[in-house]
Each structure stands twice: as structure tokens, then as C-alpha cells.
Chains A and B, each alone.
Chain A
Amino acid sequence: MDTFVQLYDGFAVALSWQNLLLALAGCFLGTMMGALPGLGPANGVAILIPLAFTLGLDAVAALILLTSVYYGAMYGGRISSILLNIPGDEPAMMTCLDGYPMAQAGRAGEALALSGVASFVGAFFATWGLVFLAPLLVQIALLFGPGEYFVLYTLAFATLGGIAASNQAKSAFAAALGIAIAMIGVDTQTGVQRFTFGEVHLYDGIDFLIAIVGLFALSEVFVFLENRGSHEGGKDSGKMKIGRVTPSFKLLRYCTPTMIRSTVLGFISGVLPGAGASLGSFLAYSVEKQVSDPRSETFGKGDPRGVAAPEAGNNAASGGALVPMLALGVPGSGTTAVLLAVLLTLNIQPGPLLFQNNPDVVWGLIAALFIGNFMLLALNIPMVGLFTRVLLVPTHILMPIVAMIAFIGIYSITGSTFELSMMVGFGALGWVLRKLDVPLVPIILGILLGNEMEVNLRRAMTISNGEWTALFDSWLAITLWTIAIVGFVLPIFLGKRVKKKMKQAEEEGPLSD
């Protein structure tokens, strides 16, 4: 009951005109930033920090503005994934897989609206999770030692086979390429430089945003440049249908189990420090695929559940990531790392004592999250029609804009031209890989998760003095290993059965209809 009283007080703080306006502005700006490729939630929040200080906002107001931007960006990331096949931020990557095919099939409006609802469900329940489970979840996060983290990341890679339906070998190659790229930079466990060739820009490794924007956005531009002569650029744009802009009740009910599963998974990934929203949307998608479509019949071809799962997952993760940030002072994702810095600058010390020392800040923030969620839902559903107009922009106008946004986005983060050339390099790489039909998503996963996987393995090994048994000596580790093995083996057998069925179907011919 105590919790509700505190939450009520929180609403009293959040429901002032100033704070409501800030939340609205934050939600709108966040959605826009999330939609722009390159500018993700972390940069969005970072860019607005000076604004919060210049306006002279107090701690609660500043946090409300910035977390609204955070949630807004998590909503907005899906827009360009669905419409352009370019993820607006890294967690929205998985939404491309089924969102873009849906848009191509003339269901862009539906995909946007459905993903908006899924985002809302994920974020809304994650916020409730934050209210009730924060103290408890901190205890769970403490069960994860380096060994358990290693197994968790292994699990993510093991289930990769479930994602890439077409060619397992090519996706394995892509993942390996991603992990190789992740190795660049100073190795924190020894202080030794790896693959930097004495180039100081490479010491910190390659920012995955550069890789994402290059591989997805720029390679798209290159493909367009290549095809311009033959296609005249007009074929796909003008005729693309938008479809209905509200999801039918039937579709929502159809996707409800998906959203529930994904919310739970996403929230848990968010709570784990360092894992974050990308792992949340990834796990949500791959588990959903194993559960509802183990034979790879509809996923990747525009299955609405493939849109709902990652969106519910990544928005739930963004709520979950606030748990370790507020309760432990440990950021669970890139964006919460920036928010943590804001808290410190505002003289608020996150950590075990925050809930006691600054209850007004915590509960005001949580109330603002609830309000922001409803605002985002209200903003996003009517605006679907507006967003989809993007599709009506002719490609020969859209593509230069994409290129421009990519350059501005990356330069605004890094402030250096070296990264711009690197991004162009990734664009060229993406173009080549597309020609070879190598999937791009595993590369990004390799870059995102490869480093963490390696670092945690080595931490575990150092702590155990090189005893490999350290990776199996807790029930949690063994459970995770079991899931990883099942997730890896199952698609192989199921895949064989599917092929058999397909053969049978071919032989039976029209009778199977």
C-alpha cells in the first residue's frame, strides 16, 4: 500500500503544467530523434542535456524532460525501420526484419500502429515492473557473475540460427565478422591494443552506431545509386500502398500473447546491467520466432508478430534498464549511462539509497513515465498517417536526405571526420555483403555483444584461475546453457522436418491446397 501512496505523491509532482508540457515536448522530440537514423536515444538525451540546464530546470523537471526523450526515442526508432528498412536506433534493428516486408506488402500503416501499441504495452508494464520489483530485481541482477553473463551472451549467439532463416553459414560468417570488428581497440583486460595499427581513433574500438548507420543507411543509398539507371527510381515509391492506419482489434488480440512474452523477456534483459534494449529486442524476436513460427514460414516475410515482439521487447527493456540505474547506480544501457551522468550533475546520487533520500525524484520520475507513455501512444497512433507520407516521397529525394542525416548524425556524436570515412567504409562493406546475400543483422549483434561476451569470459577465467568449471557452477548458468543448447539444436532438426514437409507438399502438388 505504501507503494501506492508514494506513487500518488509522484503524480502530484508530475502533474504540474510545466512538467506536463516538458513531457509532451520530450515525447515529441524523442520520437523524431528516434526516427532519424543515427540519432538514437543516447544521443537524443545527450543533445538535450544542455537545454535542460539552460532552462534552469530543477531535478525532477529535467529528468521528466530527458526520460520522455528516452521513451520517445525508443518509440520512434521503429518508424524508419518499418518505412525505410533503416533502423532508427540499434534496438529497432530487429523491427526491420518483419516491419519492412509488411510495409512493402502495403501494410505500413498497420505495422506502425501495431508497433506503437506494442511499444506502449512493453513500456507500460515495464514501468509497473519498475514500481513493484525494483528492490527485488536488484537481487536477481546480483546473481549474475561474469560466468553467467558469458553464458547469457552465448545464448544470444546460439539462438541466432533461429533469426536468419535462409542460410545458416552466411549468418554465422556475418556474426564472426561482427565479433572480429568488436575486437578492435584497447583490450581492457590487459591494456594491450588490438588491430588499431597505431591509429588513435581506433583505440576505443568502433562505435556500433557508425557500423549501423553505415551498414544499413548508406548501403541503402549505394544500392539506390547503382539501380538508378535501370529503375528510374520511381518504381517502388509512388505506388507503395499504406493500408489502414489503425490495427484491427483482431490483429491486436492475435498479437497479445506475443506482446506479453516479449515484455517479460525485454524487461529482464533491461534489468541486467550492460545488456540493455538491444539484447531485449533481439531475445524477444528470436524467442517469439521459436515459439510461434519454428518452421520459418512467416517470420521475416512480414509477420505482424515479428513487429510486435521486438518493439514490446525493447521498450520493456528501456523501462527495465532504469532499475539498476536508479537502485544500483549501474547503467543497464547506453542511454541510462547518459541519464546517470545527468543525475550526478543534478547532485542526485543514484544507488541503494536513492529511494530513501530522494523519494520525490524517484516517484515523480516514475509517474512521469506513466504519463509519457500515454502521451506517446496518443501522439503515435494519429501520427501514423503523417509518418507514412515518408513513403510517398520519391526515392531520388529521400535517399539524399538519408545520406545527409547519416552524416550529420554521426558527426554530431563524434565530432570528427575520421568516423565519417569509417561510416562510408561500412556503407561500402554493407553494399558488398548485400550483393553476396549475407545478412547484416548478425554483424551488428557481433559488434554489440561480442565484446561483452569475451570480456566476461576472461573475467570469469581470471577469477577462477583458469578453471573452466567456473562456467557451470551455478544453477543459473546451467539453466542458461540448457536454453542455449536447445535454442541452437532445435532449429536444425525442425529445419530438416520443414524441408521434408515442403518436398512432400511439392510431390502432392495441388492436392495440398
Chain B
Amino acid sequence: MKMLTGGVLAALMTASLPFAASAQEFTPDQPECIAPAAAGGGWDFTCRQVARVMRETGLIDGSMRVQNLSGGGGGVAYAEVVNKRNDEDDLIVAASTATATRLAQGAFPGNTMDQVRWLGTIGADYGVIGVRPDSEYESLEDLMTALAEDPRQISIGGGSATGGWDHLKVLMTAQEAGIEDLRAIKYIAFAGGGEAISQLLAGSLQAYTGDLSEGMGFVESGDLRILAVLAPERLDGEFSEFPTAAEQGYDVVGANWRGFYAPGDMSDEAYDWWVSQLDTMYASDAWKEVMENNGLADLDMHGEEFAEFVAGSVSDIEQISRDIGLVQ
């Protein structure tokens, strides 16, 4: 029902677009972005960079307030929005693949993905699997063959908890390589990608799984060799030297998207306004610069398309989490 009215409204609005300038449909009084983690993390980055670019490009009058509401890996903020701020029009919340992962694994107790409205993405960070430059594993196939033969010899480290996104990327690749016993693969969780890479350099680990942006500095300094980037096709510019997993015969795409959701009962006018502002911002040069400087790759999905994408990735992650016994 809601979707129907939304569609009708959107149609009406597009039809009356020439007049829309005089009758502003919606503008937030006090735009606010919740970063569901403490200052300094990826969600905080998402809110603050978007707030800055939106202010500078005039997409928002004044400035957008960024509030850090940490706890429960984003679960505290999710529960707060669902339970207490469900009908607010001025509020958006930063989210990423980690949000979808936790929703899929039931780590936000009592909450599901359809309790909020998914706005859109602002880019993605593609997953990589890498090794030390002097490693005996020359290609993704070498690593996967060795893993299939004896998983006890290989420790793979990453910056997320067990069952988290960095871990899942390895599992998805291994599954694609036909490895049956996913639980035998040794994943070592670290507090961040940087810590995992330093343990790779220290010789404690044999392979590293993470996001391209966090590994790039180490690639340039010659401390990390990328075996595969989990993108649908080769990336642009300096990233084009990295082979994709797909071209090596493993059909895996691991995009750590960054984006936003909004309260479940946000009005359609407000929802459409936010979607269109995000869309405009995404196309701006200022945002392209942010993406380039932070290793964010292109991933532009908005509105219903994005909601379907999140639903799809939630169900994929749920399946693989079940396979490794993380979800019963």
C-alpha cells in the first residue's frame, strides 16, 4: 500500500516538476545523521563526509548534525530508530555491509531489515585477498588449492570478527572453489585491517582478507601482493593491475557498500527528497573526489533498487552463515 502511494506520489511529482520549484515539497528542519559507532570508524566517516559535501554543495541548508550512537555493532542505533524515532523525516542513519551481515545473522535481536527504509549507497569498497610479496602463493588458485589440501597450514587474518564481512569473503571464495568443509578454514579476527596486515608482515599469517582501501598503502610500499579483488570487473586507474576473482574462475563479488537507511515510517515525500539529494550528491565532483581519495569504488543504487539489493545480500549472508554453523 505504502509503496503504491509512494509510486503514485513520485509520478505526480515528476509530472508537476516545472511547478515544484515554487512549492517546495519537503525540506528537513533539522537534518540529522546517526553514526551507529564512536567517532573515527567507517560509519562516522560516512555521516561526516556526506554532511560536509552536502553542506558545501548546498544540498542542505545549514549543516547536518552528526550524532554518534554507538553500541551493539550498530544494533543500539537500529533499535533506537525502530522503537523511538520511527516516524521522523529529518533523520538518516549510516549503514554498510556490516549492517546487512548482522541483520542476516540475527545479531540485532528482534529487528529485521524491513523495519527501516533503505535510501541508497554512496560507494563501495571491494574486497581483496592478499599475501606477502614473497609468498609461495602466486595466484588465487594456488591459495585455494592449498586450502583444499590442508587448511591447517594456512591462517587468514582480517579486520572483522569471525562471521563478519572479511571472514565471509574468504568463505564465499572457498565455497566457489569447491571446498566443502568451510569450518576448517582458519580465520583469525583482528581489531582492524591494519592490525591484520602487520601480523601478515610479522609472519603470523599466511593470507589477508580485507577491503581494497585499507590494503592500498601496503601494496604501494611493496608489503602486500593482491591475489584477487572481488569486483565484477577490473577497476579503474591504478587499481586496474589487480586481477579479479571472476577472471581466475571464481565467480565471487564482495562489495562492502556504504550507504544509509531511514526510519520505517518516514513520509514518502521525505524519503524521495533524501533519495534525490543523495543521488545529486553522488553525481557531484566533490563526492567523486572523496571517493577517489578514500579508495571507494563506484556503486550507485538508490531507492527501491537498493532495498532489493540489501534484501538479496541479507539472504545470501544468512545462507552462508548457516553453512558454517554461525546461525542455527
Report which A residues bind B (CB closer than 8 A). 46, 49-50, 53, 141-146, 186-191, 198, 200-204, 273-274, 324, 328-331, 337-338, 340-342, 344-345, 347, 349-354, 413-416, 418-419, 455, 459, 462-463, 465
Contact = CB atoms under 8 A, between A and B. Distances in A.
Contacts of B164: 191
B293 A347 contact: yes
A198 to B, nearest CB: 5
Nearest to B42: A341
A142 B202 contact: yes
A199 to B, nearest CB: 8
A337 B192 CA distance: 10
7 contacts: A49-B39, A204-B70, A204-B73, A274-B195, A330-B197, A337-B40, A353-B221
B196 to A, nearest CB: 9
Contact of B221 (A144, A146, A352): A352
B204 to A, nearest CB: 4
B109 interface: yes
Given A191-B326, A200-B79, A143 B202 contact: yes
B79 A463 contact: no
B21 interface: no
Contact of B198 (A141, A201, A337, A465): A141
A188 to B, nearest CB: 4
Contact of B161 (A46, A188, A419): A188
Contact of B152 (A416, A418, A465): A465
B72 interface: yes
A341 B44 contact: yes
B113 to A, nearest CB: 16
A191 B165 CA distance: 12
Contacts of A463: 155, 186, 188, 204-205
Given A146-B199, A330-B194, A191 B45 contact: no
Contacts of A352: 217-218, 220-221, 223
Describe B's contact surface by its main secondary structure: mixed
Contacts of B109: 198, 200
A201 B76 contact: yes
B189 A188 contact: yes
A142 B68 contact: no
Measured as residues with beta carbon below 8 angstroms from the partner, the interface class of chain B is: 35 or more
B197 to A, nearest CB: 8
A53 B50 CA distance: 13
Contacts of B201: 142
B159 to A, nearest CB: 10
Contacts of A49: 39, 48
B220 A415 contact: no
B258 to A, nearest CB: 13
B135 interface: no
Given A141-B198, A338-B39, A351 B218 contact: yes
B107 A203 contact: yes
Interface of B: 38-41, 44-45, 48-49, 52, 66-73, 75-76, 79-80, 105, 107-109, 152, 155, 161-164, 186, 188-192, 194-195, 197-199, 201-205, 214, 216-218, 220-221, 223, 293-294, 326
Given A351-B217, A413-B38, A463-B155, A273 B195 contact: yes
Contacts of B72: 200-204
Contacts of B49: 345
A353 B186 CA distance: 30
Contacts of B105: 191
A307 to B, nearest CB: 31
A204 B68 CA distance: 15
A416 B69 contact: yes
Nearest to A415: B69
Nearest to B194: A330
B194 A328 contact: yes
Contacts of B191: 188, 274
B220 A353 contact: yes
Nearest to B201: A142
A375 B294 CA distance: 35
Given A46-B39, A142-B201, A463-B188, 9 more contacts: A188-B189, A188-B191, A189-B161, A191-B163, A273-B198, A330-B192, A349-B217, A351-B221, A415-B67
Contacts of A204: 70-73
A481 to B, nearest CB: 18
A273 B220 CA distance: 22
B38 A46 contact: yes
A329 B164 CA distance: 21
Nearest to B164: A191
Most buried by B among A141, A142, A187: A142
B9 to A, nearest CB: 34
Given A53-B48, A191-B326, A201 B71 contact: yes
B162 A188 contact: yes
A273 B189 CA distance: 15
A403 B203 CA distance: 48
**Which 10 pairs between the two chains have the least Cβ-Cβ distance?**
A351-B217, A352-B221, A191-B163, A341-B40, A46-B39, A203-B72, A330-B194, A188-B161, A200-B72, A347-B293
Contacts of B79: 200
Contacts of A459: 188-190, 204
A341 B39 contact: yes
Contacts of A331: 192, 194
Contacts of B221: 351-353
Contact of A200 (B67, B75, B190): B75
A344 B44 contact: no
